[in-house]
Structure 1
Amino acid sequence: MTSRERVTRALNHEEPDRVPLDLGSSAVTGICAGALHRLRGALGLEDRPVRVHEPYQMLGQVDDDVLDALGVDVVGLSDDSTFFGFPARDWKPFTLFDGTPVLVPGGFNTEPAQDGSLYQYPLADRSLPPSGRMPAGGFYHDAIERQEPYDESSLDPEEWARDMYHVFTDEELRLLQDRADALYKNTTRAILGNWGGGGFGDIAWVPGLHLPHPKGIRSVADWYMATLLYPDYVRGIFEIQLDIAMQNLPLYREAVGDKIAVIFVSGTDFGAQTGPFISPRLYREMFKPFHKAINDWIHANTNWKTFYHTCGSMVDLYGDFAEVGVDIVNPVQISARGMSPTALKERWGEQFVFWGGGVDTQQMLPFGSPEEITEHVRENISILGEGGGFVFNAVHNIQSAVPTQNLVALFEAFASYR
C-alpha cells in the first residue's frame, strides 16, 4: 500500500495496513528547526543546516531524506509566503541561540539588538517598525502589536481587510500548479494543500505581521473583545474574507485538482486548556455560517477533506463542527479537558479524522522519559488508530527544547506500533 493509498483509507475511516504519519506538511504539524537538526543527526543523515521555512515559529523544512527515514506519508503543498511577508527563499546562514546552524530566508534580520533580541520587519523593510521579536535565548518570535488609535464609531471592515486578502494572481496559481504536479508525480505521498483561506479570525494573522501599517483592531485582547463589542465590524471583515475565499476556491481547484487529498481550511484557535474561550452561542452566531459556506463549496465541488486546526478543549464545539462539515480535526490536544483519546474516539471517531494526538507536547514529549513516551505512543495509536480515521502527528509542532533521546523514542515507538 502506498502512502497515498494509506492516507486515503484513513481519511475514509477504513483501517489501512498501518497508521499514516505526518511530519511537516503544514505550519501546525511541523517541528522547530533546532529539534529537526538534532533529529537528523540521530537518524544518521547528512549533517547540513536546516532551512527555516516558517520564521515566525522557526519551523524547519522537513526534507525528503527525513521523510523517507521516518516513513512519513504526507507532504504539504505551499507557496513561499511567510507571516512576516518576505518570501522563504534566498537562503543565508544563521546560528540559533542554542548554537544550531540553520538557513533563514534572505529577508530574515540576523542582527541582534542591544538587549540580544532579534527583531523582524514587515516585508523585510527595516525602515518600518518591527512586527516580531525573538527574545535573547528564545526559540521563536512573539508578535509585536502595532495597533493605531481607532475611533469606535468609525471602524471600517474594508480598511482592515483591504491588505489582508486578495484573489490569487496568475503567477501564484502557476506556482501552485507546478508544485502540485511535481509532488504528485515524484512522490507517492498524500498531499495536503495549505490554503488557509477559511481561517476567520485566526489570531496568528490578526496583528498583521506582514503589513507596513496595520489598520483597525490588531491587539489580540481587543480582537477577542471585539467579537462581542463590535460584532458588525468583525462580521463585516468575515464577509469580505468569505467573498475572496469563494473566488479563490475555484481557482485553487483548477490549479491543483484532485492531486491534493486534504485542504487546510482554518487555523483559528477556539479552545483553551479547560474549554472554548468563546461561548458556543458566539461561535454559532459569528463563525459557523462562514465555516459552513466554505465546507459546502468544497464538498460539492471536490473530493478534498477539510482540515481544521484549533488548539485546546474542543468537545463543546465539536457538535457544531460536525454540522458544518469539518472532516479533519487537529491538533487533538489530548491533555485538555474532555479530550482523552478514549473519549474522543468513542464519541467522535465516526465523524472526524483525528490528525494529531499521537504524543502530548505539553508534558510528555519534553519532560517524560523515553520509556514513558514509548508507552504513551503505543496507547494512543491503539486507541485512535482502531478502524482508521487517524493520522499520527504530535499535538501541534514539536518544540526546540525536546531532548534528543525523547525524539528518538517517539519515532521508534511509532515505527514499532503503527
Structure 2
Amino acid sequence: MESFFPSPFPGVTGRERLLTALAHREPDRIPLDLGSTQVTGIHVIAYQKLRQALGLPTIKPQPYDSIQGLAIPDEDLITRLGVDVRGMNPLNSHNWKVIETEIQDEKSGELYWSYHDEWGITHRKPRPDGLYFSLWQAPLDKPELTSQDILNHAWPRMDDPQRIAGLREKAEAYRAAGYAVVLKDPFAGIFEMAQRIVGMENLLMMMASDAALAGVLFDRLTELKLGFWDMALPRLGDVVDVISHADDYGTQVSQIISPRMFRQQIKPKWQAVFDRVRTLAPHARRFFHSCGNVRPLIPDFIEIGVEILNPVHIRATGMEPAALKRDFG
C-alpha cells in the first residue's frame, strides 16, 4: 500500500529516519508516529472516522487504553500514513479487558459505567455513550492519611514478567521490518499517579504542608517503576529504540506546582528512574510527555536525561517553537 508520505530517498527505514532526527541531523523527511504510546494515540471514534476517510475496511478497533478510549491503530492504516515507529504497551489494567459495572448516581440519578482498576482506583463513564472514563474515587483520599496507610496499600506488582509477555517477539518483528521500537512506561508518572492514589487536592496540600509524607508516596511509586525496568529491560532493552515516560506538570499558562517544588520533591525520583533506564538500556532514547507550559522545567528535564519532549504545546504560554529552538536547539 502506497504511503501518503513517501521518502524522497527510497530504502531509508523508519528506524533510520527517527534515529537520524534524534542525532540532530536532517532526515529525508520528518519521522511520523501514531499510536506507539498513549500520548501519541487516537480516540476510537476519531480512528473509525479516519479509516472511513481513507477508504479502509470498517473493523472493530482493539483498545490501547480503555480508560481514555484510545484505539490500537491497525497495520493497514499506519502503513498507509507512513508511520515510522511501532509501540509496545506493557500489560496493565487500562489495556486488559475492562469489566464495567452499571451504576446509578445516588444524587443525580444518572447512569454510569464504573470500573475498579488494579490500583484500587474507581473510574466512571456516562452511559450510554460517554467518550472516556474519569477518575471518580482515589483509594487513599481520606483525612489524616499516614505513611502506614501508604505503605500498606494493595500495590500492584510491576515486576511480573507477564506484563511484557510476547513483547520481545513483537519488537524483533518490528525491528526486522525497519521500524523504530518504542516501549512505554507501565503506568502514569510519579506526580500524576500520586494524584490518582490520594486525590489531587490532598496531594497538593501534602506537598505544601507535609513533604515527608508526600515523599513516602513518591518513593513507593518510584520503587514500582524501578522494579518494572529491572525486570523488563534485561529482556527487551537490546530491541528497543525509545523508552517513553509521562508526567503532566503544565497548565495552559503556567505550572501545576512551582519549579522549586518540582526540583525538591519530584525531580530526584525521576532522576533515579532515568539513571536506572540509562544503565540498563544505554542506547535507548528517553522520551518524556508533559503537557502545557513546562518551559521553566525543560532544563531540568534535560538534566535528568530527557531527549524527546512531547508535546510541544505551541498554544501554551512559553512554548513557542521558535523560542524553544533558539534556546534548546
Structure 2 length-normalised TM = 0.85
Are the structure 2 counterparts of residues 149 and 174 from structure 1 closer, same or farther at C-alpha, using a change threshold of 3 Å? closer
The answer to whether the 8 A contact 2:121-2:135 is kept is: no
Q: What residue ranges of structure 1 are gaps of 5+ in the alignment?
A: 89-104, 209-217, 350-418
Match of 2:137 among 145, 153, 163: 145
Please tell me whether residue 158 in structure 1 is matched to residue 158 in structure 2: no
Larger deviation, residues 225-234 vs 4-13: 225-234
Provide the residue aligned with 1:132 in structure 2. Answer: 124
Are the structure 2 counterparts of residues 53 and 246 from structure 1 closer, same or farther at C-alpha, using a change threshold of 3 Å? closer
Are the structure 2 counterparts of residues 202 and 152 from structure 1 closer, same or farther at C-alpha, using a change threshold of 3 Å? closer
Number of corresponding residues: 312
Are the structure 2 counterparts of residues 237 and 53 from structure 1 closer, same or farther at C-alpha, using a change threshold of 3 Å? same
Are the structure 2 counterparts of residues 244 and 142 from structure 1 closer, same or farther at C-alpha, using a change threshold of 3 Å? closer
SS of residue matched to 1:224: helix
Provide the residue aligned with 2:209 in structure 1. Answer: 229
Are the structure 2 counterparts of residues 39 and 293 from structure 1 closer, same or farther at C-alpha, using a change threshold of 3 Å? same
Counterpart CA distance in 2 for 1:312 and 1:226 is 23
**What pairs with 1:387-406 in structure 2 (closer than 5 Å)?**
none
The answer to whether the 8 A contact 1:77-1:192 is kept is: yes
The answer to whether the 8 A contact 2:86-2:180 is kept is: yes
The answer to whether the 8 A contact 1:135-1:141 is kept is: no
Are the structure 2 counterparts of residues 81 and 29 from structure 1 closer, same or farther at C-alpha, using a change threshold of 3 Å? same
Provide the residue aligned with 1:207 in structure 2. Answer: 196
The answer to whether the 8 A contact 2:159-2:231 is kept is: yes
Larger deviation, residues 242-251 vs 311-320: 242-251
Please tell me whether residue 78 in structure 1 is matched to residue 89 in structure 2: yes
Provide the residue aligned with 1:380 in structure 2. Answer: none
The answer to whether the 8 A contact 2:93-2:117 is kept is: no
Match of 2:302 among 307, 316, 322: 322
SS of residue matched to 2:296: coil
SS of residue matched to 2:234: helix
- The letter for the 2-side match of 1:202 is E
Shift of 1:16: 0.8
- The letter for the 2-side match of 1:56 is I
Counterpart CA distance in 2 for 1:7 and 1:244 is 30
Counterpart CA distance in 2 for 1:36 and 1:274 is 30
**What pairs with 1:49-68 in structure 2 (closer than 5 Å)?**
49-68=60-79
Are the structure 2 counterparts of residues 296 and 277 from structure 1 closer, same or farther at C-alpha, using a change threshold of 3 Å? same
Please tell me whether residue 118 in structure 1 is matched to residue 78 in structure 2: no
Shift of 1:27: 0.9
What does the per-residue CA deviation read over 1:287-320, in whole Å, with 9 as the maximum and x for residues that have no partner? 1111222222333442111111111101111111
**What pairs with 1:173-252 in structure 2 (closer than 5 Å)?**
173-185=164-176, 187-196=177-186, 199-203=189-193, 206-208=195-197, 218-252=198-232
Are the structure 2 counterparts of residues 112 and 276 from structure 1 closer, same or farther at C-alpha, using a change threshold of 3 Å? same
Match of 2:36 among 25, 32, 50: 25
Provide the residue aligned with 1:102 in structure 2. Answer: none
Larger deviation, residues 255-264 vs 147-156: 147-156
Are the structure 2 counterparts of residues 23 and 167 from structure 1 closer, same or farther at C-alpha, using a change threshold of 3 Å? closer
Shift of 1:129: 9.5
Counterpart CA distance in 1 for 2:117 and 2:279 is 37
Match of 2:260 among 250, 262, 281: 281
Counterpart CA distance in 2 for 1:290 and 1:176 is 27
Counterpart CA distance in 1 for 2:29 and 2:164 is 35
Provide the residue aligned with 2:26 in structure 1. Answer: 15
Counterpart CA distance in 1 for 2:138 and 2:158 is 26
Structure 1 length-normalised TM = 0.68
Provide the residue aligned with 2:5 in structure 1. Answer: none
Query: Which structure would you say has the larger RCO, counting Cα contacts within 8 Å and 6 or more residues apart?
Result: 1
Match of 2:99 among 79, 82, 107: 107
Shift of 1:156: 3.8
**What pairs with 1:332-343 in structure 2 (closer than 5 Å)?**
332-343=312-323
- The letter for the 2-side match of 1:259 is V
Provide the residue aligned with 1:255 in structure 2. Answer: 235
Counterpart CA distance in 2 for 1:227 and 1:286 is 8
Counterpart CA distance in 2 for 1:319 and 1:4 is 27
**Percent pairwise identity:** 29
SS of residue matched to 1:139: coil
Counterpart CA distance in 1 for 2:318 and 2:121 is 42
Provide the residue aligned with 1:331 in structure 2. Answer: 311
The two structures, once aligned, show a CA RMSD in angstroms of 2.6
Counterpart CA distance in 2 for 1:257 and 1:324 is 19
- The letter for the 2-side match of 1:132 is R
- The letter for the 1-side match of 2:256 is F
Counterpart CA distance in 2 for 1:2 and 1:328 is 20
